[in-house]
């Protein structure tokens, strides 16, 4: 590794940063209830930002070519999204719906959820997250089209700032026939729509 590569801070550095934040907020990091907090926060962040540890595109490499002539949309709905807005480092939580029209290969359905998870567990903006998921599927699986819709609630808006609980942001990225063919597009959008949204 070259010397230019910035050395990643250690777990201890991260814990110290949390201690600083606790003090800055006005509390005492040495009182009993807070003693273990920096360690717990670092551990939680390690899990919540696990997306940096792997390339989500890898999950799509293993495909199945025996599709038995299946040539309709494949749609996985209601994938839980846990991500962090990169502007405030506050969570945004919601659901993703991912669909594609296979050309000759399909991927295990759990892989679609893993791709969502892999890109979500980073500092993100929802618009970029939506596009990254769609483009990874398009690039690697090369289906006839891809659609990704994410609906989520941003805590940077719902618990601070303009303080509007319940407002949700919807983003979508449609590629190929899911974007260009009106019937496929409509079918996809109907499949991801449910009575409550």
Q: Which residues bind Zn ion (CB under 5 A)?
A: 85, 87-88, 156
Residue 145: closest CA among 74, 59, 89? 74
Structure tokens at 183: 């019937």
154 in catalytic set: yes
What's the rounded Cα separation, in Å, for the pair 197 and 194? 6
Tell me the closest approach of the beta carbon of residue 82 to Zn ion, in angstroms. Answer: 15
126 in catalytic set: yes
Q: How many CB atoms lie within 10 A of CB 187?
A: 18
Nearer to Zn ion, 59 or 92 (CB): 92
Among 15, 97, 124, 126, which one carries the catalytic annotation? 126
Among 61, 86, 127, 186, which one carries the catalytic annotation? 86
Which are the contacts of 192, defined by CB distance < 8 A and separation ≥ 6?
75, 77, 97, 99, 147, 149
Among 85, 97, 132, 187, which one carries the catalytic annotation? 85
Which neighbouring-strand residues pair with 164?
none
Q: Which residue is nearest to Zn ion (CB)?
A: 156
Nearer to Zn ion, 71 or 86 (CB): 86
97 in catalytic set: no
Half-sphere exposure of 67 (CA within 13 A, CB side): 18
Nearer to Zn ion, 88 or 185 (CB): 88
Measuring CA to CA, how many Å separate 134 from each of 95, 100, 153, 170, 189? 15, 9, 20, 15, 15
Nearer to Zn ion, 138 or 152 (CB): 152
How long a stretch of residues is the chain? Answer: 197
85 in catalytic set: yes
12 in catalytic set: no
Tell me the closest approach of the beta carbon of residue 85 to Zn ion, in angstroms. Answer: 3
Tell me the closest approach of the beta carbon of residue 27 to Zn ion, in angstroms. Answer: 24
Tell me the closest approach of the beta carbon of residue 13 to Zn ion, in angstroms. Answer: 25
Active site residues: 85-88, 126, 154, 156
């Amino acid at each position: 590794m070259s010397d230019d590569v910035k050395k990643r801070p250690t777990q201890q550095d991260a814990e110290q940063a949390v201690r600083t934040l606790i003090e800055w907020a006005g509390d005492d990091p040495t009182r009993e209830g807070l003693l273990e907090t920096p360690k717990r926060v670092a551990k939680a962040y390690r899990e919540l930002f696990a997306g940096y540890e792997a390339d989500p595109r890898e999950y799509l490499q293993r495909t199945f070519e025996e599709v038995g002539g299946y040539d309709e949309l494949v749609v996985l709905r209601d994938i839980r999204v846990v991500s962090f807005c990169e502007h405030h480092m506050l969570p945004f939580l919601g659901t993703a719906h991912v669909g594609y029209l296979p050309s000759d290969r399909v991927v295990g359905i759990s892989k679609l959820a893993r791709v969502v998870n892999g890109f979500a567990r980073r500092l993100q903006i929802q618009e970029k997250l939506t596009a990254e998921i769609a483009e990874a599927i398009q690039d690697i699986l090369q289906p006839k089209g891809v659609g990704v819709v994410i609906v989520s609630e941003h805590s940077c808006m719902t618990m601070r700032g303009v303080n509007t609980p319940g407002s949700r942001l919807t983003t979508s990225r449609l590629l190929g026939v899911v974007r260009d063919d009106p019937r496929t597009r409509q079918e996809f959008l109907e499949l991801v729509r449910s009575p409550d949204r």
